[in-house]
C-alpha cells in the first residue's frame, strides 16, 4: 500500500510575536498522522500568500525565504526516498526525528545478543538442545570480555562493528583465551549469527563478515579398535555404576547414537524393520534428522538386560542412563582399568560405530551415514576413517584376482 504524504506551509496567526509578525509553520501529514513545527521564520501577514504557501513578491527577502522553504521541501523528499531505498517504514515518527535532528537510539550489541539467547532458552527441547544454549552463553561472555579487553567498554553500537573488529575478536580468542583453531572459529560463527540478525532486521547496512574467511581444520578423531571394544564389553566391574556405564557405552558403540539420543530412547522407538528384525527408529536431537538402525545382537541383549530396571519403568526409558558428565567421568575409570590409553568419552562410541563396527566390516558409507542420521556423506567422512586393515583386505582381494588371472587381460580391462 502506497504511503500518502502531504506538506503544507502556513503563517500561524495565533502565535504572533511582539512585533506582530507570524511564525511560518510546517504541517506534515503521513497516512493521516500529522505533525506541526515552526520553521523559526517570521513574516508580516500581509506579505504571506496562503494559496501559494510562500512569501509574496520578488524582493531579496522574499527570494531568500522562499528558497529556504523549498530546501525544506527537498529535505522531506530526500528523507522519503532514503526510507524507500532502505526499505524502512514511512512513519510520522521517523520523519519527525529526521527533520528535527532527533537521532534514534543506537542499537547496542549486547541487548541483541541477550535477546537471542533468551529466545534460544525458551525453545530448549523444541528447536534447540541445552548444549546449544550453553555455547551461546559462553560466546556472549567472550564477547563482553573482548569489549573490555580491547575497548574498555561494556557494550558497542552495532554500526561500529566492522572487519577489523571481527579480526581483532578472533585474535583475542586465539591469544588471550587460548582457543584452538576450531574452537575460535565456532565462537566467531556464533557471533556471526547475531550480526545476521542485525542485517535481516535492517539495522546494519553492511556485513562486517563480507571479506572474513575462516576454516575448520579436520581433527583426527579417536575411536576404539575391535580388541578394545571387546575388552570393555567382557570386563566385569565390582561396582554396579561402572557396569551400567560400560553397558550404555557399548550400546552406543553398536548403534552409533550420541549421548542425548540414547537418553531420549523409549520402548516405542523399537519397532520391526524392513527385514523383520528389531530396529531403532528415532530422530537425532541435534539435527532433527531421522535415524534408523537395525539392532545388532549386543545392543538387543543390553535392552533386555535393563527392561525391568526401575528407572526404565518409572521414566519410560529404554536404558537407565546417567548424566553425560558422570558418564564421561566413569568412562575414564573404565579406560584405566582396561588399560586403554585414550581419553575415553561417550562420543568416542559414535566414532567407533562408524569406523570399527561398520566401515571396517564392509558396510557402505552411504548406509553408515543414514544410520548416523547425517544429512550428507561429507559429515560421515569426518567420523569414519578407513583403517589400514580394511585397505589391506580390499587390496588382498585385488591381489588374489590378479594372481588368478591373466595380467595382460587385467591391464586391458582397466584401460
pLDDT of residue 150: 93
Note the pLDDT of residue 414.
46
Residue 137 grid coordinates: 552463553
- Calpha distance 78→335 (Å, rounded): 72
Residue 249 has pLDDT above 90, yes or no: yes
∠ CA 353-355-359 to the nearest 5 degrees?
100
Q: What pLDDT, on a 0 to 100 scale, did the predictor assign at position 101? A: 64
Is the distance from CB of 17 to CB of 42 less than 8 angstroms?
A: yes
Give percent of the chain above pLDDT 70: 91
Q: What is the pLDDT of residue 410?
A: 45
Q: Which of 1-15, 175-189, 253-267 has the lowest mean pLDDT?
A: 1-15
Q: Give tens-digit pLDDT for 9-60.
A: 999 988 888 888 999 998 988 888 888 888 889 999 999 999 999 999 989 9
Section 268-297 average pLDDT: 85
pLDDT band at 115 (very low <50, low <70, confident <90, very high): very high
Q: Pick from 100-114, 117-131, 210-224 the range whose average pLDDT is largest.
A: 117-131
Q: For the whole model, what pTM was predicted?
A: 0.57
Q: Which residues contact 258 (CB under 8 A, 6 or more apart)?
A: 252, 284, 285, 286, 346, 347, 350
Given a cut of 70, whether residue 105 has pLDDT beyond it is no
The CA angle 90-91-96, to the nearest 5 degrees, is 115
What is residue 295's three-state secondary structure?
A: coil
For 17-128, list the strands marked E by DSSP: 22-30, 33-43, 48-49, 54-55
- Residue 217 has what pLDDT? 73
**CATH (residue range 109-200):** 1.10.150
Cβ contact 348:238 at 8 Å:
no
- Higher pLDDT: 346 or 406? It is 346
Q: Structural domain boundaries of the chain? A: 5-100, 109-200, 226-384
- pLDDT in the model for residue 223: 87
Confidence of residue 287 (pLDDT cuts 50, 70, 90): low
Question: Per CATH, the architecture of 226-384 is what?
Answer: Orthogonal Bundle (1.10)
Task: Inform me whether the pLDDT recorded for 89 exceeds 80.
Answer: no
If pLDDT is split at 50, 70 and 90, which confidence band does 381 have?
Answer: confident
Amino acid at each position: 500500500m502506497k504511503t500518502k504524504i502531504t506538506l503544507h506551509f502556513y503563517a500561524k496567526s495565533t502565535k504572533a510575536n511582539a512585533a506582530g509578525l507570524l511564525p511560518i509553520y510546517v504541517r506534515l501529514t503521513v497516512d493521516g498522522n500529522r505533525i506541526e513545527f515552526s520553521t523559526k521564520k517570521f513574516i508580516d501577514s500581509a506579505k504571506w500568500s496562503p494559496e501559494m504557501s510562500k512569501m509574496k513578491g520578488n524582493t531579496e527577502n522574499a527570494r531568500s525565504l522562499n528558497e529556504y522553504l523549498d530546501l525544506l521541501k527537498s529535505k522531506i523528499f530526500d528523507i522519503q526516498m532514503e526510507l524507500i531505498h532502505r526499505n524502512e517504514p514511512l512513519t510520522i515518527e521517523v520523519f519527525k526525528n529526521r527533520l528535527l535532528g532527533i537521532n534514534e537510539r543506537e542499537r547496542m550489541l549486547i541487548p541483541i545478543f541477550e535477546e537471542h539467547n533468551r529466545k534460544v532458552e525458551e525453545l530448549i527441547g523444541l528447536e534447540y538442545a541445552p548444549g546449544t544454549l550453553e555455547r551461546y552463553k559462553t560466546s556472549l561472555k567472550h564477547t563482553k570480555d573482548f569489549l573490555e579487553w580491547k575497548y574498555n567498554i561494556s557494550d558497542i553500537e552495532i554500526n561500529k562493528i566492522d572487519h577489523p573488529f571481527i579480526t581483532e575478536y578472533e585474535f583475542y580468542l586465539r591469544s588471550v583465551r587460548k582457543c584452538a583453531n576450531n574452537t575460535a572459529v565456532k565462537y566467531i560463527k556464533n557471533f556471526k549469527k547475531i550480526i545476521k540478525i542485525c542485517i535481516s532486521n535492517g539495522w546494519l547496512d553492511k556485513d562486517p563478515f563480507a571479506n572474513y574467511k575462516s576454516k575448520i581444520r579436520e581433527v583426527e578423531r579417536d575411536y576404539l579398535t575391535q580388541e578394545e571394544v571387546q575388552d570393555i564389553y567382557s570386563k566385569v566391574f565390582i561396582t554396579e555404576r561402572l557396569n551400567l556405564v560400560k553397558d550404555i557405552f557399548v550400546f552406543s558403540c553398536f548403534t552409533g547414537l550420541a549421548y542425548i539420543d540414547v537418553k531420549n530412547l523409549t520402548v516405542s522407538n523399537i519397532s520391526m524393520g524392513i527385514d523383520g528384525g528389531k530396529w531403532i527408529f528415532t530422530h537425532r536431537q541435534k539435527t532433527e534428522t531421522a535415524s534408523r538402525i537395525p539392532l545388532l545382537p549386543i545392543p538387543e541383549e543390553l535392552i533386555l538386560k535393563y527392561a525391568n530396571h526401575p528407572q526404565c519403568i518409572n521414566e519410560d526409558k529404554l536404558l537407565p542412563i546417567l548424566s553425560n558428565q558422570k558418564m564421561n567421568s566413569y568412562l575414564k575409570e573404565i579406560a584405566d582399568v582396561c588399560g586403554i590409553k585414550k581419553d575415553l568419552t561417550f562420543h568416542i562410541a559414535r566414532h567407533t560405530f562408524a569406523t570399527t563396527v561398520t566401515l571396517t566390516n564392509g558396510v557402505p558409507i552411504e548406509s553408515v551415514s543414514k544410520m548416523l542420521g547425517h544429512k550428507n556423506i561429507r559429515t560421515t567422512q569426518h567420523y569414519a576413517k578407513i583403517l589400514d586393515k580394511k585397505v589391506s583386505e580390499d587390496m588382498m582381494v585385488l591381489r588374489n584376482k590378479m594372481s588368478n588371472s591373466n595380467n595382460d587381460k587385467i591391464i586391458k580391462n582397466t584401460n
